[in-house]
Amino acid sequence: MHTMRDLLRDPAWRMEDLGRPIPDSPHACIVCLPTWEAVRGYEEGRSDVMEVLQAGYPRFFLHPAVSELFASWERRPGRAGERVLMFPGEAACRRARRFVEARGGTVCSVEEIDGLWALVTPAASYHAARAYWRHTGEIVSSRQAEDYAANRMTGAGDTDAVRAAMAATMGVPAEDLVLFESGMAAIFTACRIVTSLRPGRRTLQVGLPYVDALKVQEHFGAGVDFVASSGAANLPGAIEALRAGRYAGVFCEAPGNPLLNTPDLGQLAEACRESRTPLVVDDTVCSHANVDVLPLADLVSTSLTKWVSGVGDVMAGSLKLNPGSPLCGLLRERLYREAPGGSRLYPRDAKVLVRNAAGFRGRIALANRHGEQVADWLANQPAIAELRYPKLTDRGRYDQLRAAGGGFGGVLSFTLDRPSAAPGVYDALRLSKGPSLGTEYSLACPYTLLAHYDELDWAEKHGASRNLIRLSVGLEPPETVIAALEEALRLAR
């Protein structure tokens, strides 16, 4: 096995790239992990990788401003042996307390000062607190932490103006859009709402989703039944149970991340309406510009961090209400309890999101065009064993959901005919590399390794090879992306 010192000599990238924020912004949400071994080191928490990281996805990696915010509380007199994790609101902090105490058999405390809420835990329970932070996305942003440290925390801001601007981008009336501090916070909120309507009933997840979308259903509520795909053997039984009203809610992605599957949303919607079971659909991977799932869903979740923002310097999420849903009134009431005024975004983050979202339509149009060209090229490469892309994967079901003028998106995944070549191909790929998608710059990652490092056998069982590479195609000329892939794929021969 190569050491990190060996890999740092690789001419395909520069030594200083390891851990570099993408983009070059003090609030970057994405970290550069340019080699397969760097990804492994990141997942294992190895010092040769972790000590050089400057940024990372905020639910997984604490921004320096956020880390200093926590540390400043821990340095206070009488805090010896205690750790602190802060939250933007009291309700989230108390939820975190219940989560940590249930798992550690320990006692935590909740404190408030100047608008933020602190969960104070014994050091031994800090790992559980960080798990809550990661799974739920109810986090303090780097801008909020900066302002807190500088004594310039702002209030709610002009929430109505922000919602109006974002509603125009999202294509819905402002009253049908609720904004959250992250995409996972939106999904977690939807999960808590639907399980509160039918306490004690499990949820149903159809299709392999983004990892934490499944984790919140496992860790909160009464648990989850998982159907890996629309062709899975256990789907008919799940549909029968759904029609009988035995689930609290149904969750799926259209298309899914990272396999780009599209579920039979019509079948799910029919069964859900029959039993008045909420259907929550996430449209992040291709965006609402390409798939129109709202008429079939009760709630639609979106990570606005991805295509809608497109830069990678702000976290945000949303839930859209279907006004035609028979559950709309009930869901709207619960949603506005969770987000009074319709938004939980910190004002400085909201300002950046609105600015970035102004380029959404042009960004997604180019990503559609470039993504399709790159996918068409990859489909003809002998080194590719399997290519996953909505144009090729579940095409009939995808076309049924396509929005007027919609394309196939910029996200694709592939595996190699020679799986052992995947690390070398990834290392040689001269594109930005990090754990996200939907950015203006193309972004690659070994998705399964990043998302399921501790459960690789489980992921492979459900179709996500441990050697899978996911590529989000950005706004560079497609010839540039194809040339980078062609150069890297030479190592797969």
pLDDT band of 290, cuts 50, 70, 90: very high
Which has more confidence, 308 or 493? 308
| Closest to 317 measured CA to CA, from 307, 302, 306 | 302
59 DSSP assignment: T
pLDDT in tens, 381-396: 999 999 999 999 999 9
Domain 64-140 grouped into CATH 1.10.10: no
Average pLDDT over residues 318-328: 98
- The domain ranges of the chain are 1-56+359-493, 64-140, 159-357
Cα torsion for 90, 302, 192, 270, to the nearest 10°? Answer: 160
Average pLDDT over residues 468-472: 98
Q: Find where tokens 């759904």 sit.
A: 242
CATH topology of domain 1-56+359-493: Aspartate Aminotransferase, domain 1 (3.90.1150)
Cis peptide before 258 (omega within 30 of 0): yes
Cα 366 to its chain centre, rounded Å, is 22
Q: Find where tokens 């108390």 sit.
A: 94
| Closest to 134 measured CA to CA, from 198, 200, 204, 188 | 188
Rounded CA-CA distance 33/12 in Å is 13
Residue 21 β-bridge partners:
31
**Which architecture characterizes domain 159-357 according to CATH?**
3-Layer(aba) Sandwich (3.40)
pTM for the structure as a whole: 0.94
Q: Collect contacts of 332-336 with beta carbons under 8 A, ≥24 apart.
A: 332/175, 334/193, 334/196, 334/197, 335/178, 335/189, 335/193, 336/178
Three-state DSSP at 82 gives strand
Question: Does the pLDDT value for residue 10 go beyond 50?
Answer: no
Question: Does the pLDDT value for residue 15 go beyond 80?
Answer: no
Contact (CB, 8 A) for 122 and 106: yes
Contact (CB, 8 A) for 32 and 435: no
16 DSSP assignment: G
Question: Does the pLDDT value for residue 8 go beyond 70?
Answer: no
Question: Does the pLDDT value for residue 75 go beyond 70?
Answer: yes
